[in-house]
């Protein structure tokens, strides 16, 4: 179940209540007349079945409440109520299969922004990867994978492709197109400085004695297959609110490690492995976005079939 909060101008409240009460996927409807101060109006609350959320949002947005009032949704972990049970049974489909498109747009839009926090996490992840590459430590490589924030913009690219949202694609593209070069430049600079002061010994890397992390730059069909599977799993996790599964996606694809490897290889003058690492990075990024977009398109088509072909709120 999802908890719905609506700020409605007084003149629209009765119609909003009528639309909520007419939908079988709603329960626990409450109205507080005159409770809202900014914007001024009434506060309406209700619990809605996740699989009915898009239809209900369409009904409310049809009253321009998203412009003249406000609409928020939040997940409910527990709802003990016969009324809530009936709402979930009446809503078409299964909760785990439902995609709340406005929620997905909001989430990917926020996670795709290029900001200081994103750059900091990406740079730290690449630095961790560089340490793992130099010390031949797969454990450190895995740590870098978990820290990396790149799946947010990748998911945003997939959402932008499927929903034809050019603004989302441009924002996500900027985050990746600027973020990775900046993180790699920082990694290269720190690696060079660490070598100069004797903090890191890259002699083993120069000699090629690092067999446990060779997978980072070796491009092949398995790399593409893993990227495709990770992209599909990641989008399933995002659209079904099973965020715990995203950790498995983070540690399965060598995006950040490939960027860190490329930076270290460039510092040591091994341009062949540096370019191969960049190729690995590009292949994995494309594979993740492609698979995520396919999964999202299939889920969108399936949801349209379950709702009788009615248009979905996100386009």
16-27 confidence digits (pLDDT tens): 999 999 999 999
- Tell me what the pLDDT averaged over the chain comes to: 84
Residue 157 has a pLDDT of 93
Mean pLDDT of 261-283: 89
Average pLDDT on 53-76 reads: 90
Distance CA 52, CA 263 (A): 48
What is the percent of the chain where pLDDT is above 90?
A: 38
For residue 184, is it left (φ>0), alpha (ψ between -120 and 50) or beta? alpha
Q: Give the per-residue pLDDT at 311.
A: 45
Phi and psi of 165, rounded to 5°?
Answer: -105, 95
What pLDDT score was predicted for residue 315?
Answer: 45
Q: Say which range, 95-104, 187-196, 229-238, 280-289, has the weakest mean pLDDT.
A: 95-104
Per-residue tokens: 306: 């379950």
pLDDT for residue 171 = 92
- Long-range pairs, 11-15, Cβ under 8 A, ≥24: 12/41, 12/63, 12/64, 12/65, 12/68, 12/69, 13/41, 13/42, 13/44, 15/63
CA 189 to chain centre: 30
Structure tokens at 138: 């797969």
Residue 145: per-residue pLDDT: 87
pLDDT reported for residue 132: 86
pLDDT at 245 over 70: no
- Of 76, 74, 77, nearest to 106 by C-alpha is 74
Query: What are the two backbone dihedrals, phi and then psi, of residue 76, each rounded to the nearest 5 degrees?
Result: -110, 125
User: Is residue 164 classed as helix, strand or coil in its secondary structure?
Assistant: coil
- Residue 244 pLDDT grade (very low, low, confident, very high; cuts 50, 70, 90): low
Q: Residue holding tokens 């989430």?
A: 107
Task: Identify the weakest region by mean pLDDT among 67-81, 98-112, 124-138, 180-194.
Answer: 98-112
Instruction: Assign 252 a pLDDT band (cuts: 50, 70, 90).
Output: low
Sheet with 2-8: strands ordered across: 26-37, 40-48, 2-8, 70-75
pLDDT of residue 285: 92
* Mean pLDDT across 251-260: 80
Tokens found for residue 55: 């239809």
Residue 269: closest CA among 168, 209, 212, 192: 192
Q: What is the pLDDT of residue 211?
A: 60
Whole-number pLDDT of residue 50: 84
pLDDT category at 241 given cuts 50, 70, 90 is low
Q: What is the spatial distance between Cα 59 and Cα 57, in angstroms, rounded to a whole number?
A: 5
Confidence band of 40 (pLDDT split at 50, 70, 90): very high
Averaged over 82-105, what is the pLDDT?
78
Task: Tell me which residue of 228, 220, 192, 239 sits closest to 98, measured CA to CA.
Answer: 239
- pLDDT higher than 80, residue 43: yes
> What's residue 128's pLDDT?
93
Helix ranges, the chain (H): 10-22, 53-61, 65-68, 82-90, 101-111, 116-135, 138-147, 151-163, 166-196, 203-207, 221-239, 246-250, 256-267, 271-306
Which is more confident, 215 or 23?
23
What is the Cα–Cα distance from 312 to 294, expressed in whole angstroms?
Answer: 17
Residue 309 carries which DSSP code?
Answer: T
């Amino acid at each position: 179940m999802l908890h719905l909060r609506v700020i409605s101008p007084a003149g629209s409240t009765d119609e909003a209540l009528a639309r909520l009460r007419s939908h079988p996927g709603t329960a626990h409807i409450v109205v507080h007349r005159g409770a809202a101060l900014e914007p001024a109006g009434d506060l309406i609350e209700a619990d809605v079945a996740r699989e009915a959320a898009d239809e209900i949002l369409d009904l409310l947005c049809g009253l321009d409440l998203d412009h003249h009032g406000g609409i928020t949704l939040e997940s409910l972990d527990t709802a003990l109520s016969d009324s809530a049970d009936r709402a979930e049974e009446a809503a078409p489909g299964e909760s785990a299969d439902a995609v709340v498109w406005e929620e997905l747009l909001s989430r990917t839009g926020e996670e795709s922004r290029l900001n200081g926090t994103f750059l900091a996490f990406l740079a730290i992840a690449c630095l961790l990867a560089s340490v793992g590459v130099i010390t031949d430590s797969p454990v450190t490589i895995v740590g870098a994978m978990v820290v990396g924030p790149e799946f947010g913009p990748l998911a945003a690219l997939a959402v932008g492709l499927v929903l034809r949202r050019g603004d989302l694609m441009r924002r996500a593209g900027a985050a990746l197109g600027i973020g990775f070069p900046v993180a790699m430049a920082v990694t290269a600079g720190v690696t060079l400085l660490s070598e100069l002061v004797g903090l890191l010994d890259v002699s083993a890397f120069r000699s090629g004695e690092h067999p446990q992390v060779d997978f980072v730059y070796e491009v092949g069909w398995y790399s593409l297959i893993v990227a495709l599977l990770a992209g599909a799993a990641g989008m399933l996790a995002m659209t079904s609110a099973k965020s715990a599964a995203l950790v498995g996606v983070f540690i399965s694809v060598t995006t950040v490690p490939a960027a860190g490897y490329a930076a270290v290889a460039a510092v040591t003058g091994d341009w062949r492995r540096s370019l191969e690492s960049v190729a690995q990075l590009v292949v994995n990024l494309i594979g993740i976005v492609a698979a995520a977009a396919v999964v999202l398109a299939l889920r969108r088509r399936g949801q349209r079939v379950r709702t009788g072909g009615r248009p979905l709120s996100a386009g």
